[in-house]
Amino acid sequence: MSRAPARLAGLEGCKGAIAPGYDADLVVWDPDAEYSVEPGMLHHRHKLSPYVGQLLPGVVRATYLRGEKIYDRGEFPSAQPGAFSSEVTDDAI
């Protein structure tokens, strides 16, 4: 579920696997939990979503970017550490 998307994005040398030399980009997922989507929890510009008010299965508990925890049970650090890669081209997307 991650090797092919990394290849398509031109990132197969550093993303797409849990292996030495690869970025430690991981998600801690609780498949048994569920949550109701509310507009205040949406972190994109437009707060409209067909999922608002829906009860959805599974909850992301934590997210790690290059081994650094960037999301923990609903909380984000004040500064997001992500960066765009200059290696990604329009052809790869």
pLDDT tens, residue order, the chain (93 aa): 789 999 999 998 899 999 999 998 899 999 999 999 998 888 778 878 899 999 999 999 999 988 889 988 877 876 666 565 555 555 544
- As a whole number of angstroms, the distance between CA 42 and CA 56 comes to 14
The reported pLDDT for the residue numbered 44 is 79
The reported pLDDT for the residue numbered 80 is 65
Residue type for 57, please? P
Strands, E assignment, the chain: 26-36, 55-65, 68-72
Instruction: Give the architecture-level CATH label for domain 23-81.
Output: Roll (2.30)
The reported pLDDT for the residue numbered 87 is 53
The reported pLDDT for the residue numbered 93 is 47
Kindly calculate the radius of gyration of the chain based on its CA atoms and give it in whole angstroms.
Answer: 16
**Residue 5 φ/ψ, nearest 5 degrees:** -60, -40
